[in-house]
Amino acid sequence: MLHLCKLWTEAGLGDKEWAQALHMFETELNDQLRQAKGGGGSNTEAREGRWTLETFSMWLLKRGRRLRECAMWFRAFDYDHDDMIGIADFLQGLVAAASPRTPGPSSPCGLVMASALFRLLDLEKRQSMDVIDLESLLGDAQVLIGPDFPFTLQQLSQRVTDFEFFRNSFLPRLQGASAFRLRVFGPPPPE
């Protein structure tokens, strides 16, 4: 719990957001429980207090994301890799996707953000990325690699799937890009 609290404050989130996050999690979990009871079956995961992909997707869709994005965001939030989103997963995911601050890549908050973004981009399953895919990723995210970046696109494409390289060299360029952010706190996104 102390780890989560430290991450939360390092991310620039406060008590108000903490209360909102807990309320969001509990509300969706209650909806999941209600649906499980209505279906007549017993749902072990719902009783354990964790979200299924379906519950997470319903929450994510309310944040303005598309259905086709839900599975990747789910993987990004699933920090313990158990195919469920528990409260610790959820809070860490919010640190990664909704924090108002940009953490340093070597900070604990930067590690959480790097881990989520690495999975969101599906880089852990690749040996490398071709330049065309990298250009597409950058274009979709509306991220420019300026002349001050020490690597060419070819060099970047060959090394971007190495987590430590990603965390230390590429993550700072991606942080803050709207493609990797969720609107969680504040007014809902426009319809």
Question: What are the b/e assignments for 34-59, b being 16+ CB within 10 Å?
Answer: eebeeeeeeeebbeeebbbbebbbbb
Q: Is 25 helix (H, G, I), strand (E, B) or coil?
A: helix
Per-residue pLDDT, 94:
94
Tokens 């903490």 identify what position?
A: 18
pLDDT tens for residues 110-147? 999 999 999 998 888 888 889 999 999 899 888 888 88
Q: Which domains does the chain have, with CATH numbers?
A: 2-103 (1.10.238), 122-179 (no CATH)
Confidence grade of residue 21 (pLDDT, cut at 50, 70, 90):
very high
Per-residue pLDDT, 40:
52
Pairwise CA distance, residues 180 & 11, whole Å: 15
pLDDT tens for residues 93-110? 999 999 888 888 888 999
pTM of the model: 0.84
Residue 34 predicted with pLDDT over 80: yes
Question: Can you read off the two tokens belonging to residue 170?
Answer: 């590429």
Pairwise CA distance, residues 146 & 148, whole Å: 5
